Chains A and B, each alone.
Chain A
Amino acid sequence: MEKLISRFFDLPSSLSAYKKEGGYDVAKRALEMKPAEIEEEVKRSNLRGLGGAGFGCGIKWSFVPRNTGKPIYLVVNADEGEPGTFKDKYILTHVPHLLLEGIIIASWAVGIHKAYIYIRGEYELPYLRLKSALDEAYQNGLLGKRILGSSFDLDVVIHRGAGAYICGEETGLLESLEGKKGFPRLKPPFPAVVGLFGCPTVINNVETLSYLPFIVNRGGEWFAKLGTEKNGGMRLFSVSGHVKNPGVYELPMGITLREIIYHHTGGIRGGKKLKAVVPGGLSAAILTESELDVKMDFDSLKAVGSMGGSGGVIVMDETTSMVDALRITMQFYAHESCGQCTPCREGTGWIYRILGRIVRGKGRLEDLNQMLDIGNYLGGTTICALADGAQMAFLSYLKKFRGEFEQFIRDGVPKETYAHA
C-alpha cells in the first residue's frame, strides 16, 4: 500500500533531505494557483480534521470571513494530548518540513500571513526538530518576506504548551496562546470568526495540514478516492497496547479495526485473546471483539457509538482488568478537567474516587448504577467536549463489561492483578 506522510519517517528531517524528495515544489506551485482553487481542491478531497473532531477541513476554511479588515491567523494544533495518540509527534520529529509546506499552502489559500504552532510542552525532540526546520525555512526563503520567490509573506511562530490536555481543545489552546489560563471559550462565536486575539482564525491539526501538499499535488479527487464516502484519504493510526508491533500506521480510512490489529500490527502479543480496543484515542467508546469489523472512518465509528477521534488505537488483551483500566482512564479526565464547568469538574473526580474505592475492595453493587447515573449527566452539558469524551469512554466500559465490575465487587480483589491500586 502506498505511503504518503509516513514515507518520510525513515528519512532525515533536514531541509536538504526533504528537498531531494521534491519538498516545497508543491507549495511553490500552490502560490501560483488561485487561493479559491486550493480551497475547492481541499473540499473535493474530503479531508477531515484529523486532530479528533473530524470536521471537514475545506468547510472549516470557508467559515472564515475574509473582509473584516482584521488579520486572519492560522493556529496549528500540535498539542497532541489525547492518550494513545502519537502520530503528530512522528510528523514533527521526522518530517517537520512537510508540516511547514502544508502551513504555506493553507495560509495562501485562506489569506493568512501569520501562523502559530502550539506544540505540546512535553515534546522536546519534536520541538527541537521543528525549531531547526523553521530556522532552515527562514534561511532559505521558504518563510518570511516574499516566500519562494512570490510576493506572499508568511511568518510562523512556535509556542510551547505547559502540559495541559485542555490546551489541545481549540479554544483552550487560543486562551493559552494569548497568555491566559487554558479555559475553553463559550461558543458561539466560533474561532473561525472570533479566534486568536479576537481575529478570524483557522485551527488545523498537524496531520491535517501535512496532507495538504499531497492533495494539491495529486488532486482532491484522488485523495477522496483513497478513503470512504465523505472521509477522504488515509490517516495515521497510532497503535499501542498489547499488539506485537505497536507504532504509527498510515492506512486508508476504510480499513477495518480487525485488519489494523491482525494484518498490520501483527496481532495480539503472546497469542492472547483480544478483550477490548479503544479505536480513536482514550475518549472514544471501547469496542469489543464482535465490533472489530467496523471501518475506521469517522462516520462508520460514529455509527457504532464510538468515534474516529485522533486515530489512537489502544489494544487490550484478556489479561487486562477493565475495572483498573477504567479507573486509570477516569483519573486522566479528573486530572485534566480544567475545572470550569460544574459537571465535568466535580463529576470526573467523583467517579474516579468511587472507582478507587471499588479497586481498594470497598465497592458496593449499587455503586455501579450510581456511577451510571452520574455518568449520564457528565457530558452534553459543558462548554467543551472533554466531559463528552470522558462520558463516552466511561459509559462504554461500564455497559460492555458490567459483569466484570460486578464480579470484582462481589469476589474481591485478585491481588496479583491490582497490586498498584
Chain B
Amino acid sequence: MPTLKINGQDVTVEKGTTIIRAAEQFGISIPHYCYHPGLSIAGNCRMCLVEVEKMPKPQISCHIQCQDGMVVQTESEKVKKLRQHVLEFLLVNHPLDCPVCDQAGECRLQDYYMEHGLYDSRVNENKVKKTAKAKPIGPTIMLDSERCILCSRCVRFTDEITKTGEFGIFNRGDRSEIGVGKELNNKYSGNVADICPVGALTDRDFRFKCRVWYLQKTESVCPGCARGCNITIEANLERPQHGGGERVMRLKPRFNDQVNDWWMCDEGRYGYKSIDHSRIDQPLIRLDGAVRSVTWDELTEQFIKAFKKLKIKEEVGILVSAQLTNEELYLTKRFFAKDLGVERIHLMRNYPDGYQDDLLLRADKHPNRKGAEWIGFTENDKETKALLNELAQLKGLIIFGQDIVSLFPNQNLADAISHLSFSAFIGSNHNQTSELVQYVLPAASYAEKNGTFTNFEGRVQRIRKALPALGESKAESEILMMLADKLHLDWTYQHEEDVFNGLSRSVSQFQGLNYKKIGSQGIQVS
C-alpha cells in the first residue's frame, strides 16, 4: 500500500491505483476527458496532467500509478497553465456552437472552460472542416464531428464493452474524425451518448426535446428486465410545452458496480415511452357494451359488490405479474389470498423469452420475479395455462398489467374474457386485454410510485416516485388499500414504506431490511 502526498495531503492507497483514482478517493478532482473508469486508459486528452516531483515532465494522472513517497501537485500554477492550454487546443477547431448544441449544460468543454479555462480567445485561423455534421450513424445516435475532441471513449466502448467495434478514428492529425465502419446498431448503443463528454454524439431520442437544466432527476431502477439496472429518471415537469406534453425526457444509467456499472441497454433506455403514452388515466366500467368513466369510489364500490357474488374458491382466478413491486405483491397476496381466500393466484411466466447476453440484458423481462418467489408466488406455467384454457368454467378473472390476449393469440381469450361474469384489469397502459374487461383500474407507472424490486441475483433495490401519477391513476398498493377499506379490513398501511416494513416482518428474505438500509445502491440478500 503506497503512501504518497497529493497537494500536501498524505494518502495511502491500494497498490496499482492511478493518481487520478487516488485523488478522487480523497476528494480531489482532476479534470479529464478521455479517462473513464469503465474503459481502458487511452491517455490522449492530456487534460489530467499533474506534476510529480522528480519526474521531469508533467504526467497524465490517469495512467501513472501511485508509488511510495511520490509527491503530486494537481493545482500548481504550472498544472493550471497546462490545463488552460490543453483546453485552448481542444477548442481551436471546435465550432463553439453552444447556443444550438444539445449538450450545453452537461458539456465538459463548457464546464472545464469555466473552471479551468477563462482565457481570451486568440484563434485567428479558419477551422479545419470536418465532414460529419448532424449525421445519424444508427437508429439512436447522431454524430457531429466538428464538436468531437477525439477522446476515443466511444471507440473503446464499442471495442471493449459491447465488442461490436463500430467506431474508429479516421484520418490523422487535426483532420482526425470519429466515424463508424458500419451502422451503430447494437443493444447498448445509447451509452456512447452518455460517455461522450461533448456534443459530438447525441441521443437522437432526446435531441432538442428539452434543455438539460430543466430536468428533474430521480433515482430509480429500470423495470425492463430481471437485471434491475440502476437508472436516473429525468423529467421535465415545469415546462410541458418542451416535450410536447411528455414528462419523462430520458433515462440515464446510474453507476452501480454490483449491477450495471455505468451502462444500460437501449431496450431499457428507450422503454420509458409507456410512462406518458397509451396510459389509462381514469377508472372505467364496461358493462352491457358501454364504457363509462367513473370515480374511484364508484368503481371500488361496484367492483366489491360484483366480486362478492362469486364463489371465490372455485370461480376466481388472478394473474399476477413480476412487474409488480415487492410491496404490491405482498399486499396482493394478503388481500386476495389471505383476506379473501382466492386459491388460483398465478404468477405469470415470462412470455415470450427475450434476448439475453453476458453484459446486462436478461431473458426475463420482469424486474421482480425473485421478489415474487420470495413472497410466495411460484410460477407454474402448466396451471396458468390450464386456468386460461378453462376460463369458460371460471366466473371471475383479475389481471395485473399483462396483456394476455396478445400474449396468447391462438387461444381465443378475447371471446372467453368477454363471457366472464366478472373481469378486471389493474394496470397502467391500454392494451387488448384492458379493452375487454368490465373493471379497468388505472395503475401508476413505475416512475410514479415508491417500492422495491428484487433482481435475479437477489439484490433488493428501490424505485422512487419521480412524477405524480397520471390522471386518476394510482399505485397498485393504494388501489388495494382502497379495496381493503371498502371491505372494512383492518389495514393500517399509509404508504409503501409501511407495506415494506410489514413485508420485512413476515417474509424471511426481507428480514431486517428497510428503505434507509437499501439506500440508493440496493442490498444483496442472497
Contact = CB atoms under 8 A, between A and B. Distances in A.
A370 B89 CA distance: 13
Contacts of A374: 85
Contacts of A265: none
B172 A337 contact: yes
Contact of B122 (A343, A370, A380): A370
Contacts of B149: 342
Interface string B45-78: 1110100000001101001000000000000000
Contacts of B90: 342, 346
Contacts of A18: none
Contacts of B122: 370
Nearest to B150: A339
A338 B172 CA distance: 5
Q: Is the interface of B mostly helix, strand, loop or mixed?
A: loop
Interface string B273-289: 00000000000000000
Interface residues of B, number: 36
A220 B86 CA distance: 46
Nearest to B56: A380
A252 B240 CA distance: 80
Interface stretch (A284-292, A304-312, A349-357): A349-357
A337 B174 contact: yes
Interface in A319-377: 334-343, 345-350, 353-354, 357, 367, 370, 374, 377
B126 A353 contact: yes
Given A339-B150, A383-B44, A334 B173 contact: yes
Nearest to B65: A188
Nearest to A349: B174
A350 B123 contact: yes
A407 interface: no
| B43, B90, B171, B172 interface centre (most CB from chain A within 10 Å) | B172
Q: Is the interface of A mostly helix, strand, loop or mixed?
A: helix
A346 B150 CA distance: 11
A285 to B, nearest CB: 18
Contacts of B128: 349
A217 interface: no
Contact of B125 (A166, A341, A354, A377): A354
A314 to B, nearest CB: 23
B203 to A, nearest CB: 25
B340 interface: no
Contact of A377 (B63, B82, B93, B123): B82
Nearest to B173: A337
A347 B87 CA distance: 11
Interface of B: 41-47, 49, 57-58, 60, 63, 81-82, 85-86, 89-90, 92-93, 122-126, 128, 149-150, 168-169, 171-176
Report, nearest first, the 6 A-B pairs whose CB atoms are least far apart.
A339-B176, A349-B174, A346-B89, A377-B85, A353-B125, A337-B173
Given A339-B175, A345-B150, A381-B57, 10 more contacts: A166-B172, A337-B173, A339-B172, A342-B45, A345-B89, A349-B92, A349-B174, A357-B125, A380-B57, A381-B49
